Amino acid sequence: MEAIVAVFSDWGIGSEGTQQVVLKADRRHFRELTDGAAVLVGRRTLGDFPGGRPLKGRHNIVLTRQAAEIEGAEVVHSEAEAAEAAKAYPRCLVIGGASVYLQMMPYVDTVHLTQIDLCPQSDRFFPNLDASGDWRCLSCGPWQEEDGVPYRFATYVRIPKKED
């Protein structure tokens, strides 16, 4: 499984249920990478989408503990059920939020990061991949700017465990 996330310089990803800074270039990048794939999303992040509705052009798998049906989405009720549902698709990307990234990390081998060089106050964070020792940066684009905000795209991959 893959994950896609926009992180600030302290690995913050959101505050009060939303993203503090949204870049058009990041939205485009997100669309390109997720189009036609399955996406795995937490119920709170779904609530922050336009109209609170699943994303068009992707198969939406929504994690919730509630006995809810969500139009246009497949609903799953546990991390294990989410991992099982993802197997049915050639590509599945975890798209947040924080609790879902954290729980699904063991299943993720590639992370598409948008690094935004700002540090607004966040109440939700992505694990710091540079500090973990389990990840390496495979590729990193140049710093660019949108409305004076510096950002770049990077891809991290899990370092295979050495067999004893």
Q: How far apart (Å, rounded) are the C-alpha atoms in residues 144 and 82? A: 35
Closer to ligand NAP by CB, 55 or 63: give it. Answer: 63
Least separation, in Å, of the C-beta of 148 and ligand NAP? 19
Closer to ligand NAP by CB, 16 or 164: give it. Answer: 16
Least separation, in Å, of the C-beta of 162 and ligand NAP? 30
Q: How far apart (Å, rounded) are the C-alpha atoms in residues 153 and 2? A: 15
- Phi–psi pair at 55, nearest 5 degrees: -75, 135
Least separation, in Å, of the C-beta of 62 and ligand NAP? 8
Closer to ligand NAP by CB, 44 or 59: give it. Answer: 44
Least separation, in Å, of the C-beta of 95 and ligand NAP? 6
H or E element that contains 118: none
Q: What Å distances lie between residue 23 and 19, 84, 129, 151, CA to CA?
A: 10, 32, 22, 9
Beta bridge partners of 111: 3, 156
Closest to 159 (Cα-Cα) out of 131, 128, 135? 135
Interface contacts to ligand NAP, rule CB under 6 A: 5-6, 13-15, 17-19, 42-45, 48, 63-66, 77-79, 95-100, 103, 124
Closer to ligand NAP by CB, 59 or 100: give it. Answer: 100
Q: How far apart (Å, rounded) are the C-alpha atoms in residues 7 and 5? A: 6
Closest to 129 (Cα-Cα) out of 149, 156, 109, 89? 156
Least separation, in Å, of the C-beta of 12 and ligand NAP? 8
Closer to ligand NAP by CB, 50 or 161: give it. Answer: 50
